[in-house]
C-alpha cells in the first residue's frame, strides 16, 4: 500500500528519506557484487548491474500486474520484495523495489513524493532485508534441497509482509498525523498483513520453486546449493531442460507430463509445511499483538503528550477527560482488534489451506482413477505451463570479458 502525502509528518518523512537514500546507496554498491556473476569478483560486475537490475525491476513491475484470484471475484497481487531478495539477492532486491516505487511515484502519482522515503523504507528495505535474513537462516538450518529452499522462501515471505506492517506502525507512532491508538494501528496493520503475507508467501514459494526447477543457478539465495541440487533433480529436470531450442513452439516436451505431477506432489507437502508454519507464525504474532500494545502504547503516549500539549494550547478540552478516554479506549479497542484480527487470520488462513488440500486431494484422486485425458483442466494446464517454463532454455553461461 503506497503511503500518500500528509500521512506521516514532515520531520519523519524527511528522516526516512535520508534513511532510504542511505539504504539505496549501500544497495548500489552491494548490487554490483551480486550481479557481477560467478566469474566477476573484483569490480567487474559494475557494467552488468544496470541492465540486469533494470530488467529485474521491470519484472517486479510487470509481476505486480499478475492477478492471483482469491475467491468470489477478489484477487491479489504480488508485492515482490521477498521474491526479489531471494531471486537476485538482498541488495539488488532493495534497489529494484526502490526503483519501482520511485517510478510509480513520479510516473503514476502512486504514493506521495514526500512519502517516498517512508514507502522505500517500509516496502523496499524492511521487507527485503527481513525476508532475506530469514531465508538465509533457514536455508542454512534446514537440510539441503529444493524443498527446503521453497519452504524457507515461504516462511521468509510470510514474515516479511507483517514485518513491513510493524515497521509502518513504528513510523506511524513516530510521525503519524492523527492520534489513532498505536495498538489499534498495530493490530489492524498486522492482522491484515498476516493475511496478505500468507498469500504473498504462497506465491513467492511457488515462484521460487518454479525457477529452481528450471534454472537453479538463477536463485541467488540458493547458490550454495546448486551442486547437490542438480544431482537430485536431474531425473525430473533433465528432459525438460533439454526440450527445445529458443523460439521453438510450445509443442509438448516428452518430459513435461510427469514433471508437474511431481512438482504438485512436492508442492502439496510444501503447503502442509506452510500451514504449520503459518499457524506457528500467526500464533506468535497474536501473542506479540496481545502483549505489546501496552509497550507501544507507552511510546505513543510519550510521543502523544508533546503533541497534545501543542493541541491543547488551541483547544480547551479538559485534560482529565482526554486522558481517561485515551487510556481506557485504546487498551480495549486495541486488544479487541488484535484478537479479532488474529482470529480472523487464523480462521481464514486455515480455511483456505483446508480447501486447497481437499481440492488437491480430489484432483489427484481424479487423476489417479481416470484416464490421462480426463485428468481435469487443472492437471492439463499445469502440464501446459510446465512446458512453458521448460521452453526457457538453459543457455550456456558466457564468460563476460570486461574491458
Partner 1 sequence: MDPLNNPLHTRATAPTPETPAPSLEVAGLAYAYPDGHQALYGVDLTVAHGERVALLGPNGAGKTTFVLHLNGILTPGAGTVTVAGLPVVRRHLAEVRRRVGIVFQDPDDQLFMPTVREDVAFGPAAAGLRGAELAARVTEALGRVGMADHADRPPHHLSFGQRRRVAVATVLAMRPEILVLDEPSSNLDPASRRELADILRALDVTVLMVTHDLPYALELCPRSVVLSEGVITADGPTQHLLSDTELMAAHRLELPFGFDLRSVTIPTP
Partner 2 sequence: MSAGHAHKLYRHGHSPVHALPPHCKIAAVLCFVLAVVATPRTAVWTFALYALLLAAVAAAARVPAAFLLKRLLVEVPFVAFAVLMPFVATGPRVHILGTALSEPGLWGAWNILAKGTLGVAASVLLAATTDLRGLLLGLQRLRMPPLLVQIASFMIRYGDVIADELRRMRVARLSRGFEARGVRHWGVLAKTAGALFIRSYERGERVHLAMVSRGYTGTLPVPDAAAATGAQWTRAAALPAAALAVCLLGWTL
Dihedral-angle region of residue 9 (phi above 0 means left; psi in -120 to 50 means alpha; beta otherwise): beta
Among 22, 106, 332, 340, binds partner 2 (CB under 8 A): 106
Q: Is 109 exposed, middle or buried (CB count within 10 Å of its CB: 0-12, 13-18, 19+)?
A: exposed
Applying the rule CB under 8 A, the residues between 4 and 43 that interact with partner 1 are: 39
CB of 133 to partner 2, least distance (A): 21
Applying the rule CB under 8 A, the residues between 24 and 53 that interact with partner 2 are: 24-25, 28, 46-53
Among 15, 113, 261, 339, binds partner 2 (CB under 8 A): 113
Distance CA 370, CA 25 (A): 58
DSSP H or E stretch at residue 397:
none
CB of 393 to partner 2, least distance (A): 9
Among 178, 310, 368, 398, binds partner 1 (CB under 8 A): 398
Neighbours of 345 (CB within 10 A): 25
CB of 183 to partner 1, least distance (A): 48
Report if residue 399 touches partner 1, rule: CB under 8 A. yes
Complex with partner 1: residue 54 or 351, whichever CB lies closer: 54
Strands 68-71, 74-76: pairing is antiparallel
Backbone angles phi, psi at 397, to 5 degrees: -80, 135
Among 51, 235, 254, 361, binds partner 1 (CB under 8 A): 51
For partner 2, which stretch binds (CB under 8 A), given 121-129, 156-164, 340-348, 355-363? 355-363
Backbone angles phi, psi at 389, to 5 degrees: -60, -40
According to DSSP, residue 124 is labeled I
Complex with partner 2: residue 19 or 363, whichever CB lies closer: 363
Cβ atoms of 139 and 148 closer than 8 Å? yes
Q: What is the largest CA-CA distance in the chain?
A: 79
39 binds, among partner 2, partner 1, none (CB under 5 to 8 A by kind): partner 1
Complex with partner 1: residue 203 or 225, whichever CB lies closer: 225
Applying the rule CB under 8 A, the residues between 128 and 157 that interact with partner 2 are: none
Among 143, 249, 318, 396, binds partner 1 (CB under 8 A): 396
Complex with partner 2: residue 68 or 137, whichever CB lies closer: 68
Q: Is 375 exposed, middle or buried (CB count within 10 Å of its CB: 0-12, 13-18, 19+)?
A: buried
Binding track over 247-286 against partner 2, x by CB under 8 A = ---x------------xx--x-------------------
Report if residue 359 touches partner 1, rule: CB under 8 A. no
CB of 144 to partner 2, least distance (A): 21
CB of 41 to partner 1, least distance (A): 14
- Tell me the three state secondary structure of residue 373: helix
Helices (H), ranges, 1-145: 10-35, 46-63, 81-88, 90-108, 116-119, 127-141
Report if residue 245 touches partner 1, rule: CB under 8 A. yes
Distance CA 262, CA 260 (A): 5
* Contact positions vs partner 1 (CB under 8 A): 39, 51, 245, 396-401, 403
Amino acid at each position: 500500500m503506497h503511503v500518500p502525502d500528509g500521512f506521516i509528518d514532515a520531520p519523519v518523512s524527511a528522516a526516512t528519506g535520508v534513511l532510504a537514500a542511505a539504504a539505496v546507496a549501500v544497495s548500489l554498491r552491494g548490487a554490483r557484487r551480486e550481479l557481477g556473476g560467478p566469474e566477476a569478483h573484483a569490480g567487474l560486475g559494475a557494467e552488468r548491474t544496470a541492465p540486469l537490475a533494470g530488467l529485474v525491476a521491470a519484472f517486479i513491475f510487470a509481476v505486480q500486474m499478475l492477478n492471483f484470484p482469491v475467491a468470489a471475484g477478489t484477487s491479489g497481487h504480488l508485492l515482490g520484495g521477498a521474491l526479489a531478495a531471494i531471486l537476485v539477492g538482498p541488495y539488488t532486491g532493495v534497489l529494484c523495489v526502490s526503483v519501482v516505487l520511485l517510478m510509480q511515484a513520479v510516473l503514476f502519482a502512486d504514493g506521495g513524493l514526500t512519502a517516498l522515503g517512508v514507502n522505500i523504507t517500509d516496502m523496499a528495505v524492511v521487507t527485503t532485508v527481513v525476508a532475506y535474513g530469514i531465508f538465509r537462516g533457514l536455508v542454512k538450518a534446514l537440510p539441503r534441497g529444493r524443498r527446503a529452499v521453497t519452504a524457507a522462501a515461504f516462511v521468509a515471505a510470510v514474515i516479511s509482509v507483517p514485518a513491513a506492517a510493524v515497521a509502518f506502525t513504528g513510523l506511524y507512532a513516530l510521525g503519524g498525523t492523527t492520534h489513532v491508538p498505536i495498538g489499534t494501528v498495530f493490530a489492524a496493520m498486522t492482522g491484515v498483513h498476516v493475511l496478505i503475507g500468507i498469500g504473498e508467501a504462497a506465491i513467492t514459494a511457488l515462484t521460487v520453486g518454479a525457477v529452481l526447477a528450471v534454472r537453479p543457478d538463477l536463485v541467488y539465495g540458493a547458490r550454495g546449493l546448486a551442486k547437490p541440487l542438480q544431482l537430485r533433480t536431474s531425473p525430473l529436470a533433465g528432459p525438460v531442460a533439454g526440450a527445445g531450442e529458443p523460439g521453438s513452439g510450445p509443442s509438448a516436451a516428452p518430459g513435461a507430463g510427469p514433471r508437474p505431477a511431481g512438482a504438485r506432489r512436492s508442492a502439496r507437502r510444501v503447503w502442509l509445511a506452510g500451514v504449520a508454519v503459518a499457524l506457528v507464525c500467526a500464533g506468535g504474532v497474536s501473542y506479540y499483538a496481545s502483549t505489546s500494545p501496552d509497550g507501544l502504547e507507552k511510546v505513543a503516549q510519550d510521543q502523544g503528550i508533546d503533541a497534545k500539549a501543542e493541541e491543547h494550547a488551541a483547544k480547551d478540552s479538559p485534560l482529565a477527560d482526554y486522558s481517561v478516554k485515551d487510556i481506557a479506549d485504546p487498551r480495549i479497542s486495541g486488544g479487541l482488534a488484535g484478537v479479532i484480527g488474529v482470529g480472523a487470520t487464523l480462521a481464514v488462513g486455515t480455511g483456505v489451506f483446508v480447501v486447497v488440500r481437499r481440492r488437491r486431494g480430489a484432483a489427484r484422486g481424479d487423476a489417479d482413477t481416470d484416464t490421462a485425458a480426463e485428468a481435469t483442466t487443472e492437471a492439463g494446464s499445469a502440464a501446459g505451463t510446465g512446458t512453458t517454463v521448460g521452453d526457457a532454455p538453459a543457455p550456456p553461461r558466457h564468460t563476460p570479458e570486461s574491458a
